[in-house]
Structure 1
């Protein structure tokens, strides 16, 4: 048989029809998309998206320019910017698979993944607006007063700690670096918060096996304290950190009433960061159940959730109560008094001792 006759056979119309019957092409359909913003009442909307309608509108106005389509093609089929935002908020509020998140809006899982990436990146552009350390004396004084009202610990402008955010295995030769001491893959995320549970600083670039103290000593906020940019303000941390002139930790074996009072006040004041973790992860469960995406997107999701949390705090949103995150720290075993930390701690202990002597009410 001539080679050209073989080609004719391959293009035989009857044969093509048989193939199409065996493996028919799926027709392109555009599924109906519910208007979730207007469909739900205020409480139902809040329960599903973790933010009120007013807050979502505020957020939408700040990022909508990043969500519009670049061309005017297929606008009748295009996903509206508000729908993109709501799909992403739904993803953050559930931590579900993309296929389930996509079904919520009637889009394919690949489309849902692209939308989440686009919206999360847009939210991250707001980082400098909503996440920042107190930069002026007036701002620092405001933080100090609010912390002092908790347990009368002086000069505190922030509480610092780290929390593990679960990840899927990032793969590659460095994957085991992300396995934390609890046995799962994670990012060890450093957070500094104020007395109102607002996040002042977040660091998301370290794998789960990294020690808390190492993260702090390689952060930009560490250099700001080293350079004296925070005035006489101090941070409170757990025993996983070294004691420094601007970072005070508990006394391992307190002796006497003044040292015990120092420890009690330090722990009660520092506890605000652990409660912040509980609120943060309850508000956006994707941080608790685990993030199933590429590493660089997971880091942006953590930052985006921090920004959204601060917006919710600013708007006095309802708090999703949850258990405070209690984690036994890995005690810092480095040089304890390498930066005047012990001397500074003694100064604060003397403050409590003087208050006791004067008969002042402490806690």
Structure 2
């Protein structure tokens, strides 16, 4: 845990405990493997009763009816040996990185993650490669009871995301343009407040488990997803245990400093209709 929390090298961690680098490596991987095997129940899609609590909280706090969570993604930066260096892993900020996509609930708990993909991908492409996208498109996720608005129509379950994501009936992104109506601007304000939960959760993840916030030195790309998963599990365990971070734990201002914001132009026609229904419901 010291290695994951500090992000210090194996040599530095070993020196602090009076053991060698190889011992630190072995102990770290035994811990990671045991967490993967025994702690996965801390990162699951919520059951119906819990999801109803999440939706009620999103509506009470952010005015988003039937919202099930917020989506965001971050880059885990790494160095690669020259023999493994590839444009596939070189992102727009000219770093080698691996993507982590997360969906968070009202308490900034991760309820779905996708990782292992190159940081050179766009946010929208990463989404479409995830199992979450495939489940949503197949009607096997976000298919819970709709909220019936007598005047405006049914509001189905959805999540919120920034402009880097496409607009779908189950993924609400902001309105764009310079001359938005008052209802559109009101929707955007509420949607942005809810969306920020994802960014805050990722900042907390990287601030608490700093191995993800430092440049990873020549990681095994096949093992790095396990490190990321375990850090996400530990993040959730803190929340599940109702624990709090110490006040002196400094969190990064943003989880992806140095990266410009992408803008996805894809607008699904049914997604546009659903966004308008939600906007009208908020105003009524």
Which category describes the TM-score, using the shorter chain as reference length? 0.7 to 0.9
- Retained in 2: the 8 A contact 1:156–1:236? yes
Q: What is aligned with 1:34?
A: none
Distance in 1 (alpha carbons) for counterparts of 2:46 and 2:166: 23
Name the CA distance, whole Å, in 1 between partners of 2:124 and 2:185. Answer: 24
TM-score by length of 2: 0.87
| 1:132 match | 44
- Confirm or deny that 1:245 pairs with 2:245: no
Instruction: Check the 8 A contact 1:140/1:233 in 2, yes or no.
Output: no
In structure 2, do the counterparts of structure 1 residues 187 and 127 end up closer, same or farther at CA, with 3 Å as the change threshold? farther
1:105 to partner: Cα distance: 2.0
Larger radius of gyration: 1
* Cα 1:170–1:343 shift into 2, 3 Å: farther
Alpha-carbon distance, 1:104 to partner: 2.0
**Contact 2:169 2:268 (C-alpha < 8 Å) held by counterparts:** no
Residues 170/257 of structure 1: CA separation in 2 closer, same or farther (3 Å cut): farther
Q: Which residue of 2 aligns with 1:184?
A: 95
Q: 253, 273, 277: which is aligned to 1:343?
A: 273
1:161 aligns with 2:72: yes
**Equivalent-residue separation in structure 2 for 1:185 and 1:276 (angstroms):** 23
Q: Is the alpha carbon distance of 1:102 and 1:265 closer, same or farther for their aligned partners in structure 2, counting shifts above 3 Å?
A: same
Query: Is 2:265 the counterpart of 1:333?
Result: yes
Unpaired stretches in structure 1, ≥5 consecutive residues: 1-88, 355-363
Q: Does 1:353 align with 2:283?
A: yes
Other structure's SS at 2:75 match? strand
The number of residue pairs the alignment matches comes to 263
Unmatched 5+ residue regions in structure 2? 145-155
| Counterpart position of 1:205 | 116
CA 1:127–1:150 in 2, change beyond 3 Å: closer, same or farther? Answer: same
Secondary structure of 2:176 counterpart:
coil
Query: Which ranges of 4 or more aligned residues in structure 1 deviate by more than 4 Å?
Result: none
| Number of the residue aligned with 2:209 | 284
CA distance in 2, matches of 1:225, 1:128: 22
Higher helix residue share? 1
- Compute the TM-score of the two structures, normalised by the length of structure 1: 0.69
Query: CA-atom RMSD, angstroms?
Result: 1.8
1:127 Cα deviation after fit:
5.0
- Which residue number in structure 1 is paired with residue 6 of structure 2? 94
How far the C-alpha of 1:248 sits from its partner, in A, is: 0.5
| 1:317 partnered with 2:243 | yes
CA–CA distance in structure 1, aligned partners of residues 87 and 25 of structure 2: 26
Change (3 A) 1:170 1:157: farther
Q: Secondary structure at the match of 2:118?
A: coil
1:127, 1:176 → 2: CA distance? 35
Q: Distance in 2 between matches of 1:175 and 1:248?
A: 34
Q: Conserved in 2, the CA contact under 8 Å of 1:170 and 1:294?
A: no
| Matched-pair contact (CA < 8 Å) for 1:95–1:290 | no
Corresponding residue of 1:219: 130
Q: Which has the higher contact order (CA 8 A, sep 6+)?
A: 2
What does residue 273 of structure 1 align with? 198
